[in-house]
Chains A and B, each alone.
Chain A
């Protein structure tokens, strides 16, 4: 569904990505791993038009995404969960979720979206009137996920979903990803926690210094000796 081809991009200074290729098919979880500064997040940001693209293409169902404004990218069914605490801290849980459906004009549809997200995340319903900053890190990450699901995207981009979370919460986040996938949404994520992420992934890419290094099925990469030594601490 999404094909990144020979992407060379950066933030105005020297390029961070060099001829990167990534493909994601419908219903897949694909993870990009690699050391700090490899340009993993830059790939996700490029899809959302937040970088300067020197050359290469990002195609989504045969359509070029690179020229589209953010709202149009969202409209086509791609949602982005940025890194870290990305909730709006002074907004309530419900207001955060509503912002996920900002581009929707019809209020009734937004109510329906809200209802569906609450079904997937019952805990968020209990806390819907609480300010997001009063939530724990794990709960905030669930708000971010729920917010990205408001529009029932076909492709979800996750930037380091496990960062700063306690181990059992990390598992909870990845379990949610599995459920999201089962409901028909493909996921492209970038992760530091490579071992766990690959266990939950259909395929993975190893990125190094802004270039493709390796790619393969999640399980194969987990057993790959080179990957194990370099990134999985084996």
Chain B
């Protein structure tokens, strides 16, 4: 039993890294606009498919295809906000939430129209298999792509944390999340800030989608499952908090992989496990591990 432990830990880390990349965008948008964007997972899906198109159909070199894909998705995120979510910014958060479900379905439909509804993959017949490295007498096998995945996620999250903490724009993002009206009084352009949030969050999700696309097959509905995990991560960690998203993603990533590896629960129950953790959390600590005490906030 124990000999598979290193491998399970490694897979848990990979899952956590992907969930974090997607959850931070979700949590940043929630921090400012107070709605859960159900189309956010679609940014990962569209990113993954764009990379496929650039790599396989257009035969672009990897780095060019990678950059083009996440830039395109960042623009997509900004355009969706300007065109759709901005119109309902002052409504009850329920409205943008429902609209985001519609946007999600729309993006899936567009991808199905272009790429077909089936399963596809970056690995085409004739491609060389990934380079692998073995540790612990072969009990831990990791591929070069997985190392890249962890490294990219790690660097991006550190960069995001530094950006939010130290840059002027990062500080203004946090100020807008705290209080839009007062931020506007300081001369901060709130519309521009929200565009930055959508662009940044969408780009990170797209990168998450492209990285997971190298591990699994692509399907037009992959964004939904990713968003469910990211959503659970941020509820767990506390909404509107980037570090909470990271903590939540680690808990979700580790617990689902450990439960599937070490209990008789089959892998097809993956989503069920996530929801079970989520429901448990909502009962025990509804504000999340790092979340502010909502009651105290209301009383202020």
Contact = CB atoms under 8 A, between A and B. Distances in A.
B187 A103 contact: yes
A99 B184 contact: no
Interface stretch (A17-25, A87-95, A215-223): A87-95
Given A99-B171, A102-B172, A80 B185 contact: yes
B178 interface: yes
Contacts of A89: 178
Given A91-B174, A95-B171, A98-B171, A85 B300 contact: yes
A75 B187 CA distance: 9
Contacts of B168: 98, 102
Interface string A66-103: 00001100110000101001101111000100111011
Interface residues of A, number: 20
Contact of A70 (B171, B174, B185): B185
Interface in B140-198: 168, 171-172, 174-175, 177-179, 181-189
A49 B250 CA distance: 46
A100 B177 CA distance: 16
Contacts of B188: 99, 102
A101 B255 CA distance: 45
Interface-central residue, A48, A80, A99, A103, by most chain B CB under 10 Å: A99
Given A99-B171, A99-B172, A102-B172, A48 B185 contact: yes
Contacts, number: 50
A90 B241 CA distance: 10
B186 A99 contact: yes
Contacts of B186: 74, 99-100, 102-103, 147
A48 B186 CA distance: 11
Interface in A35-75: 48, 70-71, 74-75
Contact of A90 (B174, B184, B189): B174
A19 B182 CA distance: 27
Contact of B187 (A70, A85, A90, A95): A70
A85 B300 CA distance: 9
Contacts of A147: 186
A91 B175 contact: yes
Contacts of A70: 184-185, 187
A74 B187 contact: yes
Contact of A88 (B175, B184, B187, B300): B175
B187 A71 contact: yes
Given A85-B300, A88-B174, A99 B179 contact: no
Nearest to A75: B187
Interface string B260-300: 00000000000000000000000000000000000000001
A82 B179 CA distance: 11
Nearest to B181: A82
Contacts of A85: 300
A99 B156 CA distance: 25
Interface string A135-174: 0000000000001000000000000000000000000000
Contacts of A90: 174, 177-178
Given A70-B185, A98-B168, A99-B175, 10 more contacts: A48-B185, A71-B189, A86-B179, A90-B177, A95-B171, A95-B175, A99-B172, A99-B183, A99-B188, A100-B186
25 contacts: A48-B185, A70-B184, A71-B187, A71-B189, A74-B186, A80-B185, A82-B182, A88-B178, A88-B179, A89-B178, A90-B174, A90-B177, A91-B171, A91-B174, A91-B178, A95-B174, A98-B168, A98-B171, A99-B172, A99-B183, A99-B188, A102-B172, A102-B186, A103-B186, A147-B186
Interface of A: 48, 70-71, 74-75, 80, 82, 85-86, 88-91, 95, 98-100, 102-103, 147
6 closest A-B pairs by CB: A71-B187, A88-B178, A103-B187, A74-B187, A88-B175, A102-B186
